[in-house]
Amino acid sequence: MKKGLVVVFMVCLAGSLFAGGQQTGEAGKVELELFLQKTQLREVWDAQVEEFNATNDAGIRVVQTMINPTEAIQVLTTRFASNDAPDVMQHYPTKSAFKLLIVEDRLVDLQNKPYAAYAIPSVVDDIRHKDGSYYAIPITMNMFGIFYNVNKFEEYGLGIPETYAELIALCKRIESLGEVPFIFDDKFTDFPRQQMSVIMALEAPKETWRGIGANEIDPATVPGLRRACQKFLEMREYTEGNTLAVGYEQSVEDFVKGKGLMVMNGIWALPTLNAAEPPFEMSMFPLPADRAEDTRVVGGIDTAYCVCSDTKHPAEADALMDFLCSKERAQHLVDVDGSPGTIKGVVGGAEEIQPLVKATAEKGAAGWVHYNFGAGGDPELERLAQKLVVDKDVDGYIRGLAVMVDNTYESLLQFKQ
Amino acid sequence: MSAIVRSNKRPFFLFLLPGLLIYVFIYIYPMLNGVFYSFTNWNGFGRTFSMVGLTNYLKTFTNMRFYRSLWFTLKYTFFLTVLANGLGLILALILNRELRGKIFFRAMYFFPAILSMVTAGLIWNEIFYRIVPLFGEAIGSEALSSNILGNAKLALYGILWVHIWQYTPQAFVLILAGLQAIPSMVTEAARIDGASPWQVFRYITVPYLIPIFEIVIVLTIKYGFVIFDYIIAMTNGGPGGATESLSVLIYKLGFNEARFSAGCAMSVIMFIIIVALSFSQLSLLREREVIQ
């Protein structure tokens, strides 16, 4: 008897280890998970989810999962690996991790959904596949450019450069005035990768990458790649100290404190810059190409929503998508984010980024180069670009780029775009 | 007789069962799972995968990035083991004496150990960026005049410094406990017999401390080999991959580069290296241990 009790006790004790607090939805309601990875918009989504939960008459309760963007990819990998995908996600359709989800059939084709009509068709075309399918509804665009201190530019009578040569002349002039032209943050790999992706977008057309992947083009013979490296390194001559020592937050702080007159970044940095309360007016201009007529703002689709194919509640997921992609909610998001909207009728975008918006409207945008790489291409470009800052080995960089394109080409071919 | 012993052992076994189950599910099962996936081409996202035999292992052994990470990890582990434990021993020897305020010093030295690794990394990040360069300029050192975490040649030492700062107190506490367990009559007898302080240390203190060294050295080798948090917080493997340890490389392969199975193969290799190092170190120290 005693032995039996001991056994029962031990089994209960062992079993208790696996007892978790399983989350249950409100009675009779379908619970949907919305996965988000843009923490600076937390308040927007808090309000929108609260509104949806209070007003939807389909018996749906949405639960948010908000993960820091630097960790979101790791969390999503783990979730998909264990077949625990969320129902609806906010993601970035130009990232190679997103392409991988499409290749692995983890996302729902949205082309025939009623809410697909809300997005601006020309923007959707950027992520539309040859067979017409697309897997995300874009809400905002991102753009990369140069933030500058308007007050200092006016004080010194400095103009906006229209060519790359003018940009370098501007840097020399700023240096002669005893100021630091650029603040770059190379300590972490995001910035070197983004900057290199922008420079290469102006120097190497989309076809180059497919040609390299198919072994039709030798990257060592592409003059644009060498020129991109040259520009990448040359601009670093107009910074102060070791750029590899400066992190993102530190670069923002240094710019706001007036330690440099220009900082390169995407428009997503604007909320962080504004939060640091700069005591001067800011504006932006695009990175100029060698010829003024070739200059394009580099950017692409930023925030987008998608539906995971594992969802057990596709109709409810569609209802949530319809709500999130509506003009009112997209406008709400744009008003806070400051990025240009991609839903029909949404207006706005912050004052500081208007020069980029105007330039895009006039000439169109150039897409991010890393959009042309297969799965795993982005992180490898990060490593290579930062390594170029360290060793300035242009040949090594181009060789590494060729290997990366070769390694990721197979997954790019699977991607039907 | 043997039946009585068996029946007496059964409750002990049953009480061990929960811990055993946890160990199996949290350590053994994932490890075996990792070994299995190292023979596949799974990318971490797919529902399906194929068996590819030893391909991932062969690719690992021809990957220069793996060798660079392995070299970084070995170098890091060596410096950490020697410096953190050496410093811990020196501190323990000093604070094992009758000193005024030794309780205060013991508490103060232990303070860094209570911080999380990421917190310590972030604090030192700012110190290396804002304070150390001022000091470097003041003493005219070119190497220290810039953030050493941004220097491919010095970043290892920046991370190592923080790790030593935080780990030494743990080694210090363990070694101090070992010192206090040495029977005072043995050292007193040695002194009466005319042994010098060095001879007491060499022939009495060290042999008695060997069981403690076995623990702290195995722990340090393990901490060095799996170094991850500090690197993610301070350099993310940069600049240009200069501080990419094996753990960071495995993590990047699995979670950033969609090469999950390649990461698994590298993990298995790393596991074998740690086991080999730990066993050889244990057998080396056991030969010199004092049997009490």
Would you call B136 an interface residue with chain A, using a CB distance cutoff of 8 Å?
no
Distance spanning both ends of chain B, measured CA to CA: 31
Shortest distance, CA A388 to any CA of chain B (angstroms): 7
pLDDT reading at A309 higher than 90: yes
Overall average pLDDT of the B143-152 stretch:
80
| Higher pLDDT, residue A209 or A157 | A157
Q: Which residues of A touch B46 (CB under 8 A)?
A: 104
Q: Which residues of B touch A243 (CB under 8 A)?
A: 150
Would you call B33 an interface residue with chain A, using a CB distance cutoff of 8 Å?
no
pLDDT tens digit string along B110-146?
777 777 777 888 888 888 888 888 888 888 877 777 7
Q: Determine whether the interchain pair B252/A379 forms a contact, defined as Cβ–Cβ distance below 8 Å.
A: yes
DSSP string for residues in B127-150:
IIIIIHHHHHHHHT-TGGGS-GGG
- In whole numbers, what is the pLDDT of chain A averaged over residues? 86
Q: Which residues of B touch A250 (CB under 8 A)?
A: 129
DSSP A145: E
Q: Which CATH number describes the domain made up of B48-286?
A: 1.10.3720.10
**pTM summary value:** 0.76
For residue B218, name the pLDDT band (cuts at 50, 70, 90). Answer: confident
Alpha carbons B72 and B57: distance in angstroms, whole number: 20
Which pLDDT belongs to residue B5?
Answer: 58
pLDDT reading at B292 higher than 60: no
Helices B206-225 and B64-95 meet at what angle, rounded to 10? 140
pLDDT reading at B215 higher than 90: no
Give the pairing type, strands A30-36 and A60-66.
Answer: parallel
CA angle A324, A329, A333 (to 5 degrees): 105
For residue A413, name the pLDDT band (cuts at 50, 70, 90). Answer: low
Q: Determine whether the interchain pair B15/A391 forms a contact, defined as Cβ–Cβ distance below 8 Å.
A: no
pLDDT reading at A22 higher than 50: no
For residues B87 and B109, the answer to whether their CB atoms sit within 8 Å is no
Q: Determine whether the interchain pair A247/B129 forms a contact, defined as Cβ–Cβ distance below 8 Å.
A: yes
Shortest distance, CA B146 to any CA of chain A (angstroms): 7
| Higher pLDDT, residue B142 or A151 | A151
Which pLDDT belongs to residue A259?
Answer: 92
Would you call A391 an interface residue with chain B, using a CB distance cutoff of 8 Å?
yes
Measuring CA to CA, which residue among A271, A276, A284 is closest to residue A334? A271
Q: Which residues of A touch B33 (CB under 8 A)?
A: none
For residue A378, name the pLDDT band (cuts at 50, 70, 90). Answer: confident
Tokens 């709400």 belong to A332
| Higher pLDDT, residue A353 or A21 | A353
Q: String of b and e for A153-168 (b: at least 16 CB within 10 Å)? A: beeeebebbbbbeebb
Which pLDDT belongs to residue A180?
Answer: 95
pLDDT tens digit string along A61-88?
999 999 987 788 888 888 888 889 999 9
pLDDT tens digit string along B182-205?
888 888 898 888 888 888 888 888
How many inter-chain contacts (A to B, CB under 8 Å) are there?
114
Q: Determine whether the interchain pair A10/B254 forms a contact, defined as Cβ–Cβ distance below 8 Å.
A: no
Shortest distance, CA A264 to any CA of chain B (angstroms): 19
Which residue does chain B place closest to A103, by CA atoms? B46
Shortest distance, CA B130 to any CA of chain A (angstroms): 10
For residues B260 and A81, the answer to whether their CB atoms sit within 8 Å is yes
Spatial neighbors of A412 by CB under 8 A, at least 6 apart, are A99, A210, A213, A372, A373, A374, A375, A377
For A367, counting Cβ atoms within 10 Å of its Cβ (0-12 exposed, 13-18 middle, 19+ buried), the class is: middle
| Higher pLDDT, residue B104 or B182 | B182
Overall average pLDDT of the B94-99 stretch:
80
Would you call B152 an interface residue with chain A, using a CB distance cutoff of 8 Å?
yes
| Higher pLDDT, residue A212 or A231 | A231
Which pLDDT belongs to residue B289?
Answer: 60
Q: For chain A, what percent of residues have pLDDT higher than 90?
A: 48
Q: Which residues of A touch B255 (CB under 8 A)?
A: 73-74, 77-78
Q: For chain A, what percent of residues have pLDDT higher than 70?
A: 91
For residue B50, name the pLDDT band (cuts at 50, 70, 90). Answer: confident
Give this complex's ipTM.
Answer: 0.70
For residues B113 and B170, the answer to whether their CB atoms sit within 8 Å is yes
Which pLDDT belongs to residue A13?
Answer: 44
pLDDT tens digit string along A99-149?
888 888 899 999 999 999 999 988 888 888 878 888 999 999 999 999 999
pLDDT reading at A372 higher than 90: no
Q: Which residues of A touch B45 (CB under 8 A)?
A: 77, 80-81, 100-101, 104, 106
Would you call A12 an interface residue with chain B, using a CB distance cutoff of 8 Å?
no
Would you call B11 an interface residue with chain A, using a CB distance cutoff of 8 Å?
yes
Q: For chain B, what percent of residues have pLDDT higher than 70?
A: 96
Token pair listed for B130: 């804002």
Which pLDDT belongs to residue B151?
Answer: 83
Would you call A397 an interface residue with chain B, using a CB distance cutoff of 8 Å?
no
Q: Determine whether the interchain pair B147/A97 forms a contact, defined as Cβ–Cβ distance below 8 Å.
A: no
**Domains in chain A, ordered, with CATH?**
7-140+302-325 (3.40.190.10), 142-299+352-416 (3.40.190.10)
Question: Hey, which residues 100-119 in chain A have their CB within 8 Å of chain B?
Answer: 100-101, 104-106
Which pLDDT belongs to residue B86?
Answer: 93
Q: Determine whether the interchain pair B18/A77 forms a contact, defined as Cβ–Cβ distance below 8 Å.
A: no
Would you call B257 an interface residue with chain A, using a CB distance cutoff of 8 Å?
yes
